[in-house]
Amino acid sequence: MEIKILGTGCTNCKNLEKATRQAVAELKLDASVVKEEDIVKIMGYGIMRTPALVVDEKVLFYGRIPSVSELKEMLSKK
């Protein structure tokens, strides 16, 4: 699975990246985690709030940072 974190580099985006990496590691998922910082590409996903999480090109949520346990719950359903 391919996980993208959309954000222009603010603290919240970095926090989400950290939480996501932790969730992926704890679930032992076979997933790549990349950060998308290009605003034009971010807008291509139709969101107006960062950070956002995209799994296999589908927006999972935006504008908030869930806890690691909530992230794990969401990612394990995918």
Partner 1 sequence: MNNRGITFHLKNPANYLPLLLLPLWILLYRNLHGLTDFFVYDVFNLIKGTHLADSVWFFVFEVPKVLLLLTLIIFAVGIVRSYFSPERTRKALEGKSLFTGNVMAASLGIVTPFCSCSAIPLFLGFIESGIPLGVTFSFLIAAPMINEVAVVLLFGLFGWKTAVIYVITGLFIAITAGWVIGRLHLEKWVESWVYELKAGDHPEDEKLTFAQRIRMGYGAVKEIVGKVWLYVTLGVAVGAGVHGYVPQDFMASVMGDKVWYSVPLSVLIGIPLYSNAAGIIPIVSALIGKGAALGTSLAFMMAVIGLSLPEMIILRKVLKLPLIFTFIGVVGTGILMVGYLFNYIF
Sketch the per residue contact string, 36 through 65, with partner 1: x for CB under 8 A, - otherwise: ---xx-xxxxxxxxx-------xx-xxxxx
Choice among 1, 2, 10, 26 that is catalytic? 10
Q: Are 24 and 74 in contact (CB under 8 A)?
A: no
16 lies in the binding site for partner 1 (CB under 8 A): no
10 is catalytic: yes
By CB under 8 A, name the binding residues for partner 1: 7-8, 10-13, 39-40, 42-50, 58-59, 61-65, 67
